Amino acid sequence: MKRVFSASMFIFLLTLLTGTSTVAAGKIGNFEIEGLISAASPMALISELEKKLEVNVVEINLKNTESGWPVFAIEFDPGQLSREDIEKTIATIEDPAGQKYKVHKGPPINNAAFTDEELKAMEIFAPTTPDIAKVTNPIASSDESLARGKEIFEINCSTCHGTNGSGQGPASHGITTFPRQLWSWYNTDSGTDAYLYWFITNGRNEMPPWGLILSDNERWDVINYVKTLKKPE
Ligand code: HEC
């Protein structure tokens, strides 16, 4: 299995995160992060780090960085925190697959083989994780939910999936994995909710991990809406 967080839309999408600023005046430092195993990893790291310290993760660059490691641009107040404080805190946080993160120091290791530890962690976070089966949709597919879902879809999803769910939105030309027709989910019952929630939350290949951008409820609203997208006759 290769690393799954290759979404080229990441940088663009993550600039949306900066709306939740908690740091008054900040310096931005680049941190190279080791230990990102799954598509859920950047999300977990950001939320834990921002919970533990007064920092904002303002940008993530997962691809083609100079060192080969993903680079997190982190804003902090140098009067309150040092680089070392941030590095130490990152080292206390665990990837959802159970491996510790750390800040990379030293030469680039592009194309280095995965360590046994990394391979083990990837296995734990395989798509068959039992977590997929556990969630149930708390939001009924009411007119209100569908109206919210439609708006969320048109802003966030239609560029790739098309406004009608055809998978042929304007941005689908430039990407290597086909953004799927969403019609296959038309009118499906609650049995598909957990999969849709998991997929939309974590993303895969060029499908961004919406758990970073949309709230839980917004993701459920958009799932309700996706289930109304029908293949034109
Ligand atoms: C940058 C382009 C892009 C955007 C924006 C995007 N997607 Fe996707 N989506 C994809 C790609 C590419 C895939 C297929 C990924 C794969 O198969 O590995 C996909 C797959 C999916 C799937 C899985 C379908 C299946 O049959 O398994 C769902 C559901 C989905 N997207 C919903 C959404 C929703 C909802 C949004 C908006 C919140 C969204 N997508 C935004 C590119 C995108």
pLDDT in tens, 85-116: 999 999 999 877 677 888 877 655 444 555 66
More confident residue, 56 or 126: 56
At 138-166, the pLDDT tens digits run 999 999 999 999 999 999 999 888 899 98
**CA of 56 relative to ligand 1 center, distance in Å:** 27
**CA of 203 relative to ligand 1 center, distance in Å:** 7
Residue nearest to atom 26 of ligand 1 (CA): 180
* pLDDT of the residue at 65: 62
Q: Rounded to an integer, what distance in angstroms lies between the CA atom of residue 199 and that of residue 209? A: 8
pLDDT band at 12 (very low <50, low <70, confident <90, very high): very low
Q: Name every protein residue with a CB atom under 6 angstroms from any ligand 1 atom.
A: 9, 156-157, 159-161, 171, 175, 177, 179-180, 182, 184, 196, 199-200, 204-208, 210, 222, 226
**CA of 178 relative to ligand 1 center, distance in Å:** 9
**CA of 158 relative to ligand 1 center, distance in Å:** 10
Residue 94: CB atoms within 10 Å: 15
Contact present, 112 and 67 (Cβ < 8 Å): no
User: In terms of Cα–Cα distance, which of 214, 179, 182, 212 is closest to 195?
Assistant: 182
At 182-195, the pLDDT tens digits run 888 889 888 888 88
Q: Which atom of ligand 1 is nearest to the CA of 210?
A: 38
208-217 b/e with 16+ CB inside 10 Å = b? Answer: bbbbbbbeee
Q: Rounded to an integer, what distance in angstroms lies between the CA atom of residue 199 and that of residue 152? A: 16
Residue nearest to atom 11 of ligand 1 (CA): 179
Q: Rounded to an integer, what distance in angstroms lies between the CA atom of residue 40 and that of residue 212? A: 9
At 26-47, the pLDDT tens digits run 899 999 887 665 556 788 888 8
Contact present, 204 and 210 (Cβ < 8 Å): no
**CA 10 to the chain's CA centroid:** 8
Residue nearest to atom 13 of ligand 1 (CA): 179
Average pLDDT over the chain, rounded to whole?
77
Residue 114: CB atoms within 10 Å: 14
Contact present, 161 and 178 (Cβ < 8 Å): no
* CA angle at 73 for the pair 125 and 19, rounded to the nearest 5°: 90
Residue 43 class from Cβ within 10 Å (0-12 exposed, 13-18 middle, 19+ buried)?
Answer: buried
**CA 11 to the chain's CA centroid:** 11
User: In terms of Cα–Cα distance, which of 72, 126, 77, 68 is closest to 97?
Assistant: 126
Which of 8, 145, 146, 160 gets mutated to test ligand 1 (max ligand atoms within 8 A of its CB)? Answer: 160
**CA of 28 relative to ligand 1 center, distance in Å:** 31
Instruction: Give the least confident one: 74-78, 157-161, 165-169.
Output: 165-169
Residue nearest to atom 12 of ligand 1 (CA): 179
Instruction: Give the least confident one: 57-61, 215-219, 227-231.
Output: 57-61
pLDDT above 60 for 208:
yes
**What's the rounded mean pLDDT across residues 193-214?**
85
